[in-house]
Amino acid sequence: MEKLTPMMKQYFDVKNNYPDALLFYRLGDFYELFYEDAKLVSLECDLVLTARGSGNDQKAPMCGVPHHAVTPYIQKLISRGYKVAIVEQLEDPALAKGIVKRDVIRIITPGTVMDESADEKSEVLIAAVEDDITGYAIAACEMASGKTILRRIEHSRFELIQYCLRNNVREIVFHSQIQERVLKRIREIPNLMISFCDQEQIDVFYQPLVEHVHRDSLKTAYGRLINYLQSTQFKTLTHLQRAEIDDTQTYCELDFSTISNLELLTPLRPNGKTQTLFNYLDRCKSAMGSRLLKSWIEKPLIDMQEISLRQNQVQSFVKDFILKDQLIQHCKGIYDLQRICAKIAFKSAVPQDLVRLMRSLRQIGPMKESLKGLDPYQWVVKIDPLVDLLALLETRLSEEVPATAKEGGIFIDGFHETLDHYREVMTGGSRWLLNFEIREKERTGIKNLKVGYNRVFGYYIEISKGNASLVKDDFGYIRKQTLTNGERYISEELKSKEDELLHAKERAIRLEEELFNTLIDEVSVFLPKIQVVANFAAHIDALCALAEISSQSGFVLPKLNQNRLIHIEEGKHPLLSMSQLNHEVVSNSLEMNEEDVVFVLTGPNMGGKSTYMRQIALTAIMAQMGCYVLAKKASLPIFDRIFTRMGASDDILGGKSTFMVEMNEANAALQKATSSSLILFDEIGRGTSTYDGMALAQAIIEYIATITKAKTIFSTHYHELTALADSLVGVSNVFVQVYEKDEEITFLYRVKRGKADKSYGINVARLAHLPDAVIHRAKDLLKQLESRRRVVQQSMDVVEIIHVPKHLEEIQTILSSLPIDSITPLQALTLLDELKEKSKGGK
């Protein structure tokens, strides 16, 4: 260390405090990285690796990026799971004595990204977890908007993983004493960073944000989250919003498998051209609206009044398309206020952010005025359009501002007298010099007198040799330099002006920086109100997007019933209707009466079974979002949960086969579904032997029909299962139609009551142009197998199912995993109270 240069010593003093982070070390206009950090980042970001003298004739490996272009590089590193520590200059290099002071001002991790987020329409969460023996308490935060959510889940590592996957949690914070078996499973989640924090005390500043929270474990998780965030952000998080308690009783819960299988947010094949429901519905004009719409898709409503209110809001825009178009135009002028709030809170906002805030606020008043008097929008009267803040910004900011505060030109003329003076000096300097030269010629009578400038002497008065004798003492000139053809002089007036001229720009920029920082502080006071306005704008934007979809031909406002009746007349898959198909999308109906529980769906591959099931799920989700649906008529019950198992996919990372994944997803549905749920199972049991698969499929159908009683569509190639309709109440058969002539088949994509007589697998193989020899041999083998099946018929008798109530199973699971040796008396009493509630069948 003694042999290092002063700058490299300073670098190591900082680096030793953050050994697990990549140090972006500010040197002038660049962020530099050294040694192992430089080697790693040069490879990850494709940067040139150079070297810098570090003392003792040694070279330190080095790479760097311009400070104004650093964001894409940080995005790339964060997406690959690295931590980045930002080291800034803490003093002005021009005023510093010795080496400039530097230190870390922020640590960026995968869960704390703000403007470094690559996808502005997605929320990236960081979550802190507290294990309270009977469950996991979770406090999650989206740093870019300050949104904070509290949730308690059952004591299951599977549920914890599901939560992280479903909510795009990129970083999870545990107590350092968390059990290794929990960490082992969490480490299997791709692109998830694990961090630790043992501090749980909630600072006084944040206590009002959780004053409505009564469960201690949730407060503990929140305290851990806050302390970790403060340790990485090095400042008070003034933009955090009041914590929301995520109550699953207020929305239809979709697990990660359902969201994935239905391709609600992302396609199953990332590189494919499959359209998602989000892409289809997202007509939003702002990133805020898109993020809100995405949350509506993930959490469809289940309260009849809330659904009716949103339906009325959408319907009012559908009927009044002029109002809708006006609001859309206003939404186009609104920027991402939620992200801007975070930047203001962190004092990382640039002039363009405040101009965007100003332009956005100009749209809020007219939006509010447009909605005045409409019944579904009575709540907008409470929205403060922030006229005072808008006036504050408009009387200070220029319409066109630079990228950073160090370039000047932020404020309008007339706002600040001193700034105006500096600008006048800058723009009027050359004019003053010209006037000064004319004045001096007239005053001295020397006609060839000239005013010039060089870097050594600054501004000077030059007089030729022939006229030098005309210079008098009362002119106040001081000789500065003698040339072969003339003399150069200075005067007090010129020197005093020189200082003003040379430093006006520098002083103007410095003053604008100070004024800008003061303005940031003034705007910070309005942050809670700006967040309310941002939520209002996002809400209107998302409603306009749903109204745009609902205004299209073929869409109808669905009715919601409480009788467990499903009536969809000539419904269509909305995403297929928008895709570039060579044929018209076939409409299909669904009629399930109150006594109907399970529809066993049979038919050939490629016949449209999966599409039909997805169509039903998407129709239900859109209906509970408050959106219109693509059908002639639609009446649906309100589903509390939707479960799907579709497609064949191995969980390679978790080491699970297709069949194991299938069984896990089936188990989740059977354990959690209620009579108000919707289950869509596509060919359950196909991943194992024929008889095993058939037995499991039959047992699952029996369990749903007799115990769960959730509305279910169960597609299968096991034609023997169609016999259950004759012996099991609530089970019916439906099939997809196929037209067959001369062993050639045509898919009709129509779903009708009844059962398919065969699977047409060989016919489909012929369409795929398998060799004729294979086709003929398969037909011979099929005849042999079918004759054998007629001899050995599998029993389809329905037997009684012994069912242990779920709440008693949960009690047994909790007691069996209870750490008797380590539980505290207070925890034991809390646990006893919870078990008492569970024994009654309560939540």
> Is the pTM above the cut of 0.85?
no
**pLDDT above 70 as % of the chain:** 88
For residue 808, the model assigns a pLDDT of 74
User: Taking 50 as the threshold, does the pLDDT of residue 655 lie above it?
Assistant: no
Q: Is residue 164 a contact partner of residue 186, using CB atoms and an 8 Å limit?
A: yes
In whole angstroms, give the CA distance from residue 637 to residue 597. 13
For residue 650, the model assigns a pLDDT of 40
For residue 508, the model assigns a pLDDT of 86
User: Taking 60 as the threshold, does the pLDDT of residue 341 lie above it?
Assistant: yes
What mean pLDDT do residues 265-278 have?
78
Query: pLDDT tens, 633-651?
Result: 999 999 999 999 876 444 4
For residue 834, the model assigns a pLDDT of 77
What mean pLDDT do residues 449-475 have?
87
Task: Grade residue 799 by pLDDT with cuts at 50, 70 and 90.
Answer: low
Query: pLDDT tens, 88-111?
Result: 988 877 777 778 899 999 999 999
Q: Is residue 350 a contact partner of residue 403, using CB atoms and an 8 Å limit?
A: yes
User: Taking 60 as the threshold, does the pLDDT of residue 7 lie above it?
Assistant: yes
Computed over every residue of the chain, the mean pLDDT equals 85
37-51, 276-290, 533-547, 683-697: least confident range: 683-697
105-119, 619-633, 741-755: least confident range: 741-755
Q: What is the Cβ-side half-sphere exposure of residue 741, based on CA atoms within 13 angstroms?
A: 3
Which of 243, 264, 32, 255 minimizes the C-alpha distance to 149?
A: 243
Crossing angle of helices 304-319 and 321-332, rounded to 10°: 100
Phi, psi of 823, rounded to the nearest 5 degrees = -75, 140
User: Taking 90 as the threshold, does the pLDDT of residue 738 lie above it?
Assistant: no
Task: Enumerate residues 6+ apart whose C-beta is below 8 A from 327.
Answer: 317, 367, 370, 371, 540, 544
For residue 843, the model assigns a pLDDT of 44
What mean pLDDT do residues 292-321 have?
94
Query: pLDDT tens, 353-411?
Result: 999 999 999 999 999 999 988 888 888 889 999 999 999 999 999 998 888 888 888 99
Query: pLDDT tens, 113-152?
Result: 887 666 788 888 999 999 888 889 999 999 988 999 999 9
Task: Enumerate residues 6+ apart whose C-beta is below 8 A from 170.
Answer: 110, 111, 113, 124, 125, 126, 191, 192, 193
Which segment, 451-465, 547-561, 697-711, 805-819, is predicted with the most confidence on average? Answer: 547-561
Task: Grade residue 790 by pLDDT with cuts at 50, 70 and 90.
Answer: very low
SS3 state of residue 3 = coil
**pLDDT above 90 as % of the chain:** 44
In whole angstroms, give the CA distance from residue 322 to residue 684. 49
User: Taking 50 as the threshold, does the pLDDT of residue 793 lie above it?
Assistant: no
Token reading at 205: 């500043």
